[in-house]
Amino acid sequence: MNFLLNTVAMSLTAISIFSAPLTQAEVVPSVSFNEPSIQAHKVSSSAVSNPQAGQHAEQDTNWKNVPTQFISAGGVNFAYREYGQQNGGTPIIFLNHLAAVLDNWDPRIIDGIAAKHHVVVFDNRGVGASTGEPAQSIEQMADDAITFIQAKGFKQVDLFGFSMGGMISQEIVLKQPNLVRKMILSGTGPAGGTGISTVGRISNWDLVRGMVTGQDPKVYLFFTRTENGKASAKAFIQRINERTENRDKEITISAYRAQLKALKKWGSKKPSDLSVIQQPVLVANGDHDRMVPTVNTYDLAKRLPNSSLVIYPDAGHGGIFQFQEDFVKQSLTFLDK
């Protein structure tokens, strides 16, 4: 019942903020990379794994049982989960998507990376179990993330940003370049990118579709409606519900509204000069992203001077979840270079 009420309320919120008619996402053009810094890696559709595969042997601590902790900084109690410390190395900070809390992360991706690295996943201010008023801009969210990272005592981190989290990651590295070693950016694009300022239209439409069909809206938002996409969506929803105890709080309507406004502003701003970002960046997406059109992924990779690109076939915004086994391998290889 709470899910249904939240879906209705969020749909009405999105309608009030994004009132323009829904338009079809831009078709991604054929792109040829001549720059030596960009290594485009297109995954064959034959590489699609069985949606039920990838059941890794459980670690003593994993995404289903890792405790939620809190740390106070800047007047906020940040909720976070952390494990893999025994692996040492640079901590990886995970930054989440629109309307997401801790339990929206794919356990296979978190566990797969935590098997080799120290991972830290947190709720931004006013989101999930974190206290405070929700941030009103992507830049403010980046400031909050920096506050959290510094409160944890980390001198340097890797960033893993999905969707809105990828936008926050860009702002973090522009604000504090010495704080970041490497970045993984998926389902995202540069400021002012195609369709980013109107992402709420897609979200609103699919929130309603989810309400009408009784399904999680991410089934529509993150995946294609092909047989592969539908099977992967079902498996993903099952995975994110594997944790049954001590789950995070759902996002509030006020936090969702603040995020929509922040996305609209960030998508309308003048593009930043990303050529100043010298850190290695792994850029990934599906080839049919409706939320943040895939054209932005190509554009982002071209703007970043030291990037590698992975595009998954017959996949949408959640391409990394559909191809989670391959993506974990790609990420581990990238982080270990």
Average confidence (pLDDT) per 10 residues, the chain, 337 residues: 46 40 33 38 54 52 97 97 98 97 98 98 98 97 98 98 98 98 98 87 72 87 95 97 97 94 94 97 97 96 98 97 98 96
Residue 45 token pair: 């559709």
CB 315 within 8 A of CB 323: yes
Q: What is the pTM of this model?
A: 0.85
Residue 269 burial (C-beta neighbours within 10 Å; 0-12, 13-18, 19+): middle
**pLDDT given for residue 253 in this prediction:** 92
**pLDDT given for residue 31 in this prediction:** 35
**pLDDT given for residue 41 in this prediction:** 61
CB 303 within 8 A of CB 275: yes
Q: How far apart are CA 320 and CA 52, in angstroms?
A: 15
CB 240 within 8 A of CB 324: no
- Residue 266 half-sphere exposure, CB side, CA atoms within 13 Å? 31
Residue 12 token pair: 């009405």
Q: How far apart are CA 337 and CA 330, in angstroms?
A: 11
Residue 169 token pair: 């990651």
Q: How far apart are CA 164 and CA 162, in angstroms?
A: 6
For the range 244-248, what are the long-range contacts, defined as Cβ-Cβ under 8 Å and sequence gap of 24 or more?
Answer: 244/64, 246/67, 246/68, 247/103, 248/68, 248/79, 248/101, 248/102, 248/103, 248/123, 248/128, 248/129
Location of structure tokens 């294609």 = 224
